[in-house]
Amino acid sequence: MPVKTVTVRVPAKVNLQLSVGPREADGYHNLVTVFQAISIFDEVTVSLREPNSGISISISGDHTHGVPADSNNLAVKATELIASEYDLDVDVHIDIKKSIPVAGGMAGGSADAAATIVAIDYLFSLGMNREEMSEIAAQLGSDVPFMLSGGTAIGTGHGEQLTPALSRGVYHWVLALSTVGLTTPAVYDECDRLRAGSEIAEPQTHEVLMQALLAADPKTVGASMSNDLQAAACSLRPALRLVLDVGQEYGALGALVSGSGPTVAFLVADEEAGLDLAVALTASGVVGSVARAYGPVGGAKVLA
């Protein structure tokens, strides 16, 4: 009896490091980034439909504003890509329950695409291995391969070429969420504008950060975090500077804009420190809402 529905849980991510090289001839930038998957999850449920009924999608949950409920959604694109690659007739309904902020620099759309790859593989018994899934994922976006694996990893190229990072310990995060997102292309364009005329080095891994992850030393991890897109995100959304300042004033070990923003990620010493900072940020009035999370966690996974 074939499986008729499957639910896959997939995490958000933060970037502990995001180093951005100069714009290349193809319009993209070479990156070195250190991803960590954290315990804020979307759930993607894929169900078989009647033959010849096509692909449909619905969105629910805490963060739905601006999420396309049509063929522009990466989950639909993932389904269409697999159908093409494997010569399948895929008639499914995709329901995405969103808890990952939209356009927040936490890879929510990429996460849903990764979850859909896992779900379609499971539903149609394709038997894809991780390498085959990653090849599909890389065609959909540079963050998608990491959302399959989760954990902590170094991304190079455009972020899609992954190497697992040697990391120990649990890291506690407080996330200051914005009500309005930033688009990744706009942030990269602003980064290029701000750096115009400057000599831009090819990105490298921060060795101090990597050693601190290996040593399970959150204080040094916090002090070593960096994001070359942060200045651009703050230029487009000046209020982010105040959020960064307030979080550090209230005891965060480190603070940075996650990815292309506008989510601000604060690393804290432990769960209690996270609760204290979340309360302080909420009381300060400088953030729309606050979430707490820990990492690293695993990537896209079928729920039993």
pLDDT tens profile 123-161: 999 999 999 999 999 999 999 999 999 999 999 998 889
Q: Is the domain of 178 the same as that of 269?
A: yes
Is the pTM higher than 0.85? The answer reads yes
Active site positions, annotated: 13, 143
**Which pair of tokens denotes residue 23?**
């714009």
Q: Is the domain of 117 the same as that of 175?
A: no
Distance from CA of residue 102 to its chain's centroid? 10
Q: Is the domain of 179 the same as that of 159?
A: no
Span 281-300, pLDDT tens digits: 999 988 889 999 999 999 99
pLDDT tens track, the chain, 304 positions: 467 999 999 999 999 999 999 988 888 899 999 999 999 999 999 999 999 999 999 999 987 888 999 999 999 999 999 999 999 999 999 999 999 988 788 999 999 999 999 999 999 999 999 999 999 999 999 999 999 999 999 999 988 899 999 999 999 999 999 878 888 899 999 999 999 989 998 898 899 999 999 999 999 999 999 999 999 999 999 999 999 999 999 999 999 999 988 999 999 999 999 999 999 999 998 888 999 999 999 999 999 6
- Angstrom distance (rounded) from CA 110 to CA 113: 5
- Angstrom distance (rounded) from CA 100 to CA 110: 11
Q: Is the domain of 179 the same as that of 282?
A: yes
Q: Residue 176 sits in a domain of what CATH number?
A: 3.30.70.890
**Which pair of tokens denotes residue 57?**
């999608």
Q: Is the domain of 278 the same as that of 153?
A: no
Q: Is the domain of 120 the same as that of 45?
A: yes
Q: Is the domain of 177 the same as that of 216?
A: yes
Among all chains, which residue has been given the structure tokens 């300060």? 284
Tell me the residue ranges of DSSP E strands in the chain.
5-23, 29-48, 55-61, 92-98, 152-157, 161-164, 171-177, 226-227, 254-257, 264-268, 289-295, 301-302
- CB-hemisphere CA count at 13 Å for 51? 2
- Angstrom distance (rounded) from CA 98 to CA 116: 14
Q: Is the domain of 75 the same as that of 207?
A: no
Residues in the chain, overall count: 304
Look up the domain containing 80 and give its range: 5-165+297-302
Structural domains of the chain, count: 2
Q: Is the domain of 139 the same as that of 192?
A: no
How large is the greatest C-alpha to C-alpha distance in the chain, in angstroms? 63
Identity of residue 94: I
Q: Is the domain of 151 the same as that of 203?
A: no
- Angstrom distance (rounded) from CA 292 to CA 277: 10
Q: Residue 74 sits in a domain of what CATH number?
A: 3.30.230.10
Q: Is the domain of 12 the same as that of 147?
A: yes
Q: Is the domain of 156 the same as that of 20?
A: yes
Question: Which is it for strands 92-98 and 29-48: parallel, antiparallel or unpaired?
Answer: antiparallel
